[in-house]
Amino acid sequence: MNITSLRAAIRAGGVVAFTGAGVSEESGIPTYRGTGGFWTSYDPDKYASIDYFQQDPSYFWAFFRDTRRFLIHEAKPNAAHKSLANLEELGLLDAVITQNIDGLHQAAGNKHVVELHGSYQKFSCTKCDAVYPLAHIEREIEKPLPPQCIECDSVIRPDIVFFGEMLPPDKLEKAYQLASQSKLILMIGSSLVVYPAAQVPHVAKQSGARLAIINLEPTPLDDFADWVFHEKAGIVLPELLEYLT
């Protein structure tokens, strides 16, 4: 099926988008698994797993210090984020469910965003109730790592989901609810190999939704989809919008 029929499906409403690292690639943020992806130079078992964080948090914090410029400082919403914000503004997109922690959907103007993996906007103490904004962490990572709580000296952690941790149940439930109530789900820029990204399309289809995959490289769910575009999200999404209204 082609882009014209996808436009018609979008006009019919009930659209939900699910995004992964690929949607931010054109903002200069490396993906995780693709060429040049974070996990090609940092072993996620060491730099992003809860087990290792509990053993030695300095690895994660070094990863954060070395990569935060991509995720936080230099990144601006790209054409893909802006198109999704326009869709929501037009009343044609109910919500964005994202695995990304870069906050770029909100920066583009989307109001209904479910951040399944948390974000780098908030940090908290691993022992007490203290929470810290990013600005505080920025100062702390100039000092020896890991950053420590002012109240109790314990290690500070980001409010993101590490490998080996459960996803926040309320957000996960919201994501499945949105997927099962949608008439069309757009899976954009995700390799669809990590749970729940691999599961959401099944849930949506089982509830009668149609599925569109927009991803540079093939995914394991391509055969299962009603539309597949192996193209950059920043090209496909603006093209979709062009003749939509």
Identify what 189 binds: Zn ion, ligand APR, none; CB under 5 to 8 Å per kind: ligand APR
151: contact with Zn ion by CB under 5 A: yes
Print burial letters for 3-41: b (CB count within 10 Å at least 16), e (below 16). Answer: eeebbebbeeebbbbbbbbbbbbbbebbbbbbeeebeee
Nearer to ligand APR, 24 or 140 (CB): 24
| Least distance in angstroms from the C-beta of 61 to Zn ion | 16
Identify what 130 binds: Zn ion, ligand APR, none; CB under 5 to 8 Å per kind: Zn ion
CB 197 within 8 A of CB 20: yes
Element (H, E) at 187: strand 184-188
C-alpha span between 2 and 226 (Å, rounded): 9
37: contact with ligand APR by CB under 6 A: yes
45: contact with ligand APR by CB under 6 A: no
Which of 86, 106, 182, 191 binds ligand APR (CB under 6 A)? It is 191
Q: Is 117 noted as a catalytic residue in this protein?
A: yes
244: contact with ligand APR by CB under 6 A: no
CB 99 within 8 A of CB 117: yes
> How many CA atoms within 13 Å lie on the side-chain side of 112?
18
- Per rule CB under 5 A, count of chain residues that contact Zn ion: 8
Which distant-in-sequence residues (6+ apart) come within 8 Å of 144 by Cβ?
A: none
Which of 3, 145, 194, 198 binds ligand APR (CB under 6 A)? It is 194
C-alpha span between 159 and 170 (Å, rounded): 15
197: contact with ligand APR by CB under 6 A: yes
Contact pattern from residue 101 through residue 140 relative to ligand APR, giving x for each residue in contact according to CB under 6 A and a dash for the rest: ----------------x-----------------------
Task: Locate 211 and state its tokens.
Answer: 């599925």
Identify what 128 binds: ligand APR, Zn ion, none; CB under 5 to 8 Å per kind: Zn ion
For the residues of 38-71, what is the DSSP string, one character each? HHHHS-HHHHSBHHHHHH-THHHHHHHHHHHIII
130: contact with Zn ion by CB under 5 A: yes
C-alpha span between 122 and 101 (Å, rounded): 11
- Residues that bind Zn ion in the complex, under the rule CB under 5 A: 125, 127-128, 130, 149, 151-152, 154
- Residues that bind ligand APR in the complex, under the rule CB under 6 A: 20-22, 25-26, 31-34, 37, 99, 117, 189-191, 194, 197, 215-217, 232-234
